[in-house]
Amino acid sequence: MERTRNILAWLGDREEKGVLTLALQHMEKSYECVMEMKNSIEALMKNDIEDRTHHINRVKSAEHEGDEIKIKVMTELSKGILLPPDREDLILLNESLNDIADSAKGVVRLLEFFEKEPSEDLDKLLLDDSLLAVKSAEKLKSAINALVNNEPNKVMEDCAQIEVMEEEGDDKRRDLIKALIKTTLSPQITILVYEIIDNLENVLDCIKRAGSIVRTLSLKAK
């Protein structure tokens, strides 16, 4: 009986590692979405519509590729031998990685409505917020890689930094709203900018949520 349990545990560990490897691939696509989202904002600041469109299309392409990996993960989980709690954590991680890409795509879809930068006063703040999202996504990618390589201390360190950056994002959101209130933009543009601010916050929130799941998986693996 003990031998059987050991074999089942080994099979479960092997399957989980395979799913986590797919999750790392999924994270690469989500990270690409966040990076290209930032590049789209930079292009808008330069009033380079062609470059902005290029980066927006890169976001959409990466998000679609991430969706395909998400389906692969769900297929693997549906046919495996992992226990329900472990499977549930991996499903939540898969969904959270997908949410990161969706939120980044939400930002660039709004950018498509602009023919020029909304306001010089908002430019730096929007770019700073998007750079923070990129840094946070980098830490999440590092944490998932550490999880795959069984480096729990590195996982905890990366996830702690993600939480700090999410709090910093809350401060940046307040600064952006204060700056938005002071502008003389049309009501239509004001609404669009506010939606962009909200979607940028969603990117950071989704990264934090994914980081919490990665930390949970790491703790369970000890």
181 pLDDT exceeds 80?
A: yes
Q: Which residues contact 183 (CB under 8 A, 6 or more apart)?
A: 118, 119, 121, 122, 190
pLDDT in tens, 192-220: 999 999 999 999 999 999 999 999 988 88
How many angstroms separate the CA atoms of 127 and 93, rounded? 27
Mean pLDDT (whole number) for 59-76: 93
34 pLDDT exceeds 80?
A: yes
Confidence band (pLDDT; 50, 70, 90) for 10? very low
Q: Which stretch of 7-16, 77-86, 114-123 has the lowest confidence by average pLDDT?
A: 7-16
How many angstroms separate the CA atoms of 26 and 36, rounded? 16
Q: Which stretch of 7-21, 25-39, 48-62 has the lowest confidence by average pLDDT?
A: 7-21
Residue 3: per-residue pLDDT: 36
In 3-state terms, the chain is what percent helix, strand and coil (to 5)?
Answer: 90, 0, 10
Please report, for the chain, the start and end positions of each structural domain, with discontinuous segments joined by +.
Answer: 2-221
Using a 10 angstrom Cβ sphere, with 0-12 exposed, 13-18 middle and 19 or more buried, the burial of residue 6 is exposed
Mean pLDDT (whole number) for 82-92: 71
Report residue 73 as tokens: 């993960």
46 pLDDT exceeds 80?
A: yes
**Which CATH number fits the domain 2-221, given the four candidates 1.20.58.220, 1.10.1380.10, 1.20.1250.20, 3.40.50.2300?**
1.20.58.220
Single pTM value for the model: 0.88
Of the two residues 47 and 117, the one the predictor is more confident about is 47
